[in-house]
Structure 1
């Protein structure tokens, strides 16, 4: 059986992206994105933030650095990748990041809706039509968690 490694998030940038280049000259940037989830903790609803690093290359990386700023809302689509590295104290570490296939610039900090799309030279994909039988029989079905 094949597997699926797909991530879609919408969140806000926690800092302005900075353009870097690999040894062979490929443009690269990291988007630091915060997403919020509302959870009930000890009877009180609270917003809980999650932080994600998303990696882009080539033209999409350049466009993000040119047009995005801290606080800007973005839509990111890609796949998870875990890399190993050694920190400054010599400890082996692992970091899970999103390798971006598609990024869309959404509303700004002021809530404006300037939609801009940037992807790795791929045309936008049409949404897949879902079949009528989703395999879910309704609220009575037991959820396995």
Structure 2
């Protein structure tokens, strides 16, 4: 079995893209690793079949932390500088929302401020 697991933050809101007659959520994940004492950020392009999960797109927003599991593949192309570039990609089979930022800028996994009027 060949699979890829990534925990990272979505770089921009997911878009729906039609590929071979099926709709896919398309988004990129950023994850950071420490290499030789310095942090290095990597990007993984993700495709998730929309299927019955039509509401999932509402949650795949910039900054949202997610876990994805799926089948890895690579794509190659010539960039604007006429250099060959390869991208790390994954067809997502499983996705879990972990945390991130809501529109007010607060972390989704932090509790709201406590009300001083509570009886305990």
Q: Counterpart of 1:13?
A: 10
Matched residue, 1:31: 27
Question: Displacement, 1:5?
Answer: 0.8
TM-score by length of 1: 0.59
The structure in which a higher percent of residues are helix is 1
Which entry has the higher C-alpha Rg, 1 or 2? Answer: 1
TM norm structure 2: 0.69
Once residues 112 and 68 of structure 1 are traced to their aligned partners in structure 2, the CA distance between those partners, rounded to angstroms, is 13
Q: Unpaired runs of 5+ in structure 1?
A: 115-145
Q: CA RMSD in A?
A: 3.0
State how far apart, in whole Å, the 1-side matches of 2:19 and 2:5 are: 26
Structure with more of its chain in strand, by fraction: 2
Equivalent pairs, count: 106
Q: Relative contact order: is structure 1 or structure 2 higher (C-alpha 8 Å, sep ≥ 6)?
A: 2
Gaps of 5+ in 2: 111-120
